[in-house]
Structure 1
């Protein structure tokens, strides 16, 4: 609780209490560098000790970079050491430095608390940090399926009773004797046995009658529940119950119906544009890629964009960054009635609730809200992954292009997805999205007849008769031999007489 007061001083340096403390105890330094001083007050003495908790979980959020001392302040991300150890850091530290994102939405340097999602200190997270780092909670940790207890289909008071049993908090006679309470160890009901947790819950005659009356006699007779102590037996029962619940859900599911059948992309209303956004984290390359796709009210492809940067950020930060770039792209193209869809529920909830905080994520959300306040017809909506498949695939192919790339025609990596979604929405037109004055139609895009040639590596190869060019939904080509196959196929097909007839 005292650490909370120290946190308020750090976050609100212009408050009266912060100015008073700074003038009295650390006029030429920060709270983290202050000394105890001569004849300190009781409040300052406690704050001075509590700041050790803050120093374990705080780091500097990089903004203007005017107030951070690179070699003295904690600013590296992650649970490992947040300080740069030397001017010539080791390889792993150098990698962390290079992967540190510089978020344009963050404009000032600020101390943040890494133990909370909103990066604001709370007494609960401070207590957990103390248990983990100062007291050394490994000494008090009991291994086991603790989540199984809290996920069990049982009343809260029953879950709490099981937790107390596994933590040794029940006042059995064995536990009382360990705490130097003089008592008889024998069970008052079954006088021969010693009263411990295993006896009370599983071996006592009264307990066994209760299990049978509840229709749970399998707990007593099942070979999987014959552990030698009560804790392991409780964990086994909870784990088995969780598995049974999953099996029941699977057996009760509608046969032949998949999530892809139930959840699909929907066209926007007349006069609106729909923009799907997503982010991809390419393992091994250290890149974060964004994909954006605009479609009109008929489902036709309008424009797209990909962008990647050589940095590693959290998933929610990546989703927020993708949505911010999509809104800036819509503003650049002069679109004013756009419905943005993302598969990040955390992001959409943060926007709808207008959350504030110190984190980089909420700083990006603040910029998103600022743009939405200027464009009243910008809407955001959460959708499932299957309804966001086009934007999901686009950033994964971003490495094939420059760090920032705009599309005016449909990339081959998403063309088949757009065709499928148009057909599901009742549109049988097949868009190619290639402007050509000879073939421009009502929708402003080119539509050519096709001849399907076959399949290579699970991707259809077809020929567009209007262009006289073989294409495939595979992008980019996997090898030089694959490209040669397309070229040779084109030359053969174009020599066929019926092709020339169709083209003329």
Structure 2
């Protein structure tokens, strides 16, 4: 279905410009395109390919500058492209377009929630029972637990969590959403929660198996990578450790990572740092190992340009992987990535990008522990 209109989020080179209105995409004149290119180049440092931090902060508010500096940049010269900012993968979907249009429509009407009328009748009876006296929230929760079925109680707790999350966004992040948008998000998450929790589990007793670090094949190197992220400061660090097939650390490094958006952002940048180091110092053939399933999935499913928020980073790593067939990617559990985790944690105190070509003192104990488990 086409209406002749577009909702756009334009990723201009390395910068993302969002347009939340539904309108016709205007045609830019050559001079407008040149001015836009000149502005983008001035905000980037030509040598490092990173944001010109001082210039960005001088020309934008604190909030705007923080948002701009968190946008990942490519280390390569790349063309402009369009990305859909309402989806994590940057690809347009009718569902998110409908939700956006519905939540911003001034003529929206009440809609049927997917949890069902029986659920809401039960909720009304429990929450507003005039014969039940509740002096605190714990008594009220206890009453709900007795009156509701387990599934209905779980739905109630999930809905309350959605309201609490919206409250935190308003208090701490000064961001607010309309009631309809909050309901849509919560109900959608509730449906996803139901879907995953209705999956049948295999019969029998489930045992928890701790995964240990395993050395690479003879003649190969294994590069364990990890990223650390602080939600309050939106800063983090990344670290990596390179070991040979005998379990000996031959190199490693880490750095502070300012201007992050998420733990995934920290992990992706740590992988980029490790991949570049491996290629520059010829630690090949090698296996790049991460404990992030999301990052791993992005790196092994490189089917064209990645239009997600962190797509530029994944594209840059993909170029390195494509150019070096003997650099592979693997995923492991957190329990098998403790040395890289420690490297990333210690990198928070680094004043500059730091590399090692032998085991530093703060990693000796962790390396010895994993070596004993081989």
Tell me which of the two structures has the higher relative contact order, counting C-alpha pairs closer than 8 angstroms and 6 or more residues apart. 2
Contact 1:290-1:307 at 8 Å conserved across structures: yes
1:51 aligns with 2:23: yes
1:306 aligns with 2:258: no
Distance in structure 2 (CA, Å) of the matches to 1:167 and 1:239: 9
Counterparts of 1:21-60 in structure 2, within 5 Å, are 50-51=22-23
Contact 2:236-2:348 at 8 Å conserved across structures: no
Counterparts of 1:315-326 in structure 2, within 5 Å, are 315-326=263-274
Q: Name the SS of the counterpart of 1:394 in structure 2.
A: helix
1:114 aligns with 2:62: no
Deviation of 1:121 (Å) = 1.9
Counterparts of 1:440-459 in structure 2, within 5 Å, are none
1:164 aligns with 2:116: yes
Distance in structure 1 (CA, Å) of the matches to 2:225 and 2:101: 40
Contact 1:390-1:417 at 8 Å conserved across structures: yes
Q: Name the SS of the counterpart of 2:337 in structure 1.
A: helix
1:400 aligns with 2:372: no
Contact 1:308-1:398 at 8 Å conserved across structures: yes
Contact 2:227-2:238 at 8 Å conserved across structures: yes
Per the alignment, residue 15 of structure 2 pairs with none
| Cα distance change, pair 238–309 in 1 and its aligned pair in 2 (3 A) | closer
Per the alignment, residue 417 of structure 1 pairs with 366
Structure 1 window deviating more from structure 2 (298-307 vs 395-404): it is: 395-404
Deviations 1:262-302 (A, max 9, x none): 21100111111100011111344442311010001010110
Deviation of 1:109 (Å) = 4.1
Equivalent of 1:236, from 153, 177, 194? 153
1:273 aligns with 2:194: no
Contact 1:278-1:290 at 8 Å conserved across structures: yes
Q: What's the TM-score once normalised by structure 2's chain length?
A: 0.62
Deviations 1:130-169 (A, max 9, x none): 2223258796597xxxxxxxxxxxxxxxxx8xx334478x
1:6 aligns with 2:6: yes
Per the alignment, residue 218 of structure 1 pairs with none
Per the alignment, residue 219 of structure 1 pairs with none
Contact 1:338-1:377 at 8 Å conserved across structures: yes
1:358 aligns with 2:310: no
Contact 1:3-1:51 at 8 Å conserved across structures: no
Equivalent of 2:286, from 338, 348, 356? 338
In the alignment, structure 2 segments of 5+ residues that lack a partner are 12-18, 27-34, 42-56, 123-142, 158-193
Structure 1 window deviating more from structure 2 (273-282 vs 410-419): it is: 410-419
Deviation of 1:376 (Å) = 1.3
Distance in structure 1 (CA, Å) of the matches to 2:95 and 2:72: 28
Distance in structure 1 (CA, Å) of the matches to 2:306 and 2:83: 9
Q: What's the TM-score once normalised by structure 1's chain length?
A: 0.47
| Cα distance change, pair 409–288 in 1 and its aligned pair in 2 (3 A) | same
Distance in structure 1 (CA, Å) of the matches to 2:306 and 2:334: 28
| Cα distance change, pair 4–404 in 1 and its aligned pair in 2 (3 A) | farther
Per the alignment, residue 19 of structure 1 pairs with none
Counterparts of 1:85-484 in structure 2, within 5 Å, are 90-104=61-75, 107-134=78-105, 163-166=115-118, 224=145, 226=147, 235-236=152-153, 252-254=205-207, 259=209, 262-355=210-303, 356-425=305-374
Q: Name the SS of the counterpart of 1:278 in structure 2.
A: strand
| Cα distance change, pair 296–237 in 1 and its aligned pair in 2 (3 A) | closer
Count of aligned positions = 282
